[in-house]
Structure 1
Amino acid sequence: MQTNLADFIKNTPDGQEADAILRKCVHCGFCTATCPTYQLLGDELDGPRGRIYLMKQVLEGKPATRKTQIHLDRCLTCRNCESTCPSGVQYGRLVDIGRRIVEQQVARPLSERVARAALKEALPRKWLFQPAMKAGQLVRPLLPSVLRNKVPAAQAAGAWPRTEHPRKMLLLDGCVQPAMAPNINAATARVLDALGVQLVVAPKAGCCGAIRYHMNDQEGGLDDMRNNIDAWWPLVEAGAEAIVMTASGCGVTVKEYGHHLAHDPKYADKARRISDLTKDLSEILPAFEAELQQKLSGRPGKRVAYHPPCTLQHGQQIRGKVEGLLRAVGVDVQLCADSHLCCGSAGTYSVLQPDLSYQLRDNKLRNLEATKPDMIVSANIGCQTHLQSGTDTPVAHWVELIDRALVAA
């Protein structure tokens, strides 16, 4: 694709990156076949190819419009198109740049500004979000369905192991997951403890930066990233083997710290090191497969439907590891039809685009439940909460299944 970027962005880091991405796109249209919003709406401008065309116009100097903003807002940033693209177009990075420019040019309605400000200020702050979530859980039966869907039933955190091990890994506790599903990280700590690895949480680490960054507060998101690097760095220097991610949405962001902070002279080298150390839990546990098989001896014995989050299968390009490990320890794992498609959660998307989000959720659940599972498992807190809001079938993180089996062993 030929480009002629406008002076306001030409020769800037964002401009150079956007130009390189745009030039890779050949407008073949393969991406539209796997775009969830294009499948629902059938509008070229609600698919990756159309959105790329809109962003190209803005980057070449055509003023953005409210219509441009709406079409970009409807994008889930699921990055399914990246898995499909034969040319290697990094659409996710392009849409971050495009959205920021459009946000600078187009004023949102007041209701949208208020909603987005509330999300990006409250969600990343544990001291705000956790009390709010606890209050919501106390009155959950009284909440209207639109709010009740966002407030999972209260869950016990479970005991955190206290054993010291020579092998140590860091864990990102995150911002929303500890309040919504505190057992996930505790279960991960117990499973790794049983395998001779100690998980360590850096007290001052917080939100991975994804919430603010993807809501066009990119400077705020970068500050969250720097904060985590500062919190982790002493432990990295002390020899931590890896930084373990139990939420794939956080994992895909932390793995891109090196990219996001590449032009920050103080943090660029550290950010690359952090990205290199970061591993999704599904990249860690397969190394212990034989030991888990020996400990469990087929005890899980459940039939589960696995929903691979977009941030895992498209963002991190990790496929097959969760299913392979669960099958190895005796779980009957089913992938549903169209397992590559988004469930509609997509971070704050389910709040900001509820109509599209719930259509995608219901489509996903229909396919998952067609496999007749005892439970549904996933690898991202957003997916779990969103799916659970539409079904009575239990939804959990896949590591909780292994944790329960180890306890029962």
Structure 2
Amino acid sequence: MVPAPTLFDERTDAAASTAPATSGAANGTAAYGFSTRAIHVGSEPDAGTSAVIPAISLSTTYKQDGVGNFKGFEYSRSANPNRDSFERALASLEGAKHGLGFSSGSAVTATILAALPPASHIVSVNDVYGGTYRYFTKVASTTQNINVDFVEMGGEAAAVEERLRDAVKPETKIVWVETPTNPTLRLIDINLVARVIKSIAPSAALVVDSTFLSPWYQNPLTLGADIVVHSITKYINGHSDVVMGAAVTNSDEWANKLRFLQNSIGAVPSAFDSWLALRGLKTLALRLKAHGQSALAVATYLSSHPAVDEVLYPGLPSHASHALARRQVSKRAAPKEASGPFAYGGMVSFRLKSDPKDERPAKEVLKNTHVFTLAESLGGVESLIELPSLMTHASVSPEDREKLGVEHNLIRVSVGLEDIDDLIADLDGAFKAANLA
């Protein structure tokens, strides 16, 4: 593996405002800001051609100068120049030593669990992505005899600590957190969970799925996480044209395990997908700022609409975890005002004033949007709308969906980069067409 260059070392958000603007060329260790690293790490000019943008390396194998003597790359499943570039760039944005790319977010989940011994125990947040729930309960439980307890990790700190202490067992190897949760946008206090888990199970790894916020809004490693996972398909790539996942960590032990399994299992992204994801990463800061501002405007509009019972957006003061959102958001994305609404990602969920058991009102809304596209996934430049109970979370049992509040009146939207007036008018028209206005 080609060693990562040191030109764009990570700096903390606290240091960002005071770090001198050195060139980096003189000492090779200059610290740069988020967008600068997003654009330059992994995209160093090619030594042979001086190309500013890396070429796509489609070769599956690489010439060796002697038996076992190769120049950084041997076989593309093991390592590829484009994947290496993307992994270094993402690791830099998360403040991590190690980054690993996979063929999907689900492949990341599967690979992390493959690192566990049989009959291991996992404590997972109860409101977890449907695909993760499916893998935990229908795959890992069968193939590895892994047991999972789904625990409520939101709410008062003392209650969270008590529930975690009750759930952790001697064989607990992983605590799995998703924040914000999908699709109810509840927040989990990462630092609190990390402190509690490390006090009762020091060897257990805290894994945080940070897909909904991306490294722009949240850096879980700074809050105590051991591994951060992303569906790169979503905000990091940002253009709905790549299926890919990634994990980052500061743990050499976990990095070695996961890189061995990455190569052995072979669920790796293609060179072209890695190239596209690196391209998407370069505009992450600009896109996430715009996603957040538009999502805040949509959430504000929905909060006063007579057809809407509840808006779930942590940037609104009405959200139960608004104070936690303010504490947990990265300094670069933190609001300047001490109180009031602020942009906190591009995802908004809301509940209609309709019977949670009746799917018809939500379906009427969804079939009458024209700018919002009815589709699963999220994080692209285009706005998407979906009904989690029948789409992304259909694999979750009806009983569990009811407990989590994922019923037929809950709608999730991924707010894209279209003109905000068009987005609000589109929702307004859909409510009227559904006779809900």
Same fold (TM over 0.5): no
TM-score normalised according to structure 2 size: 0.27
* Bigger helix share: 1
- TM score, norm. by length of structure 1: 0.28
Comparing both structures, which one devotes a greater share of its residues to strand?
Answer: 2
Which structure has more relative contact order (CA 8 Å, sep 6+)? It is 2
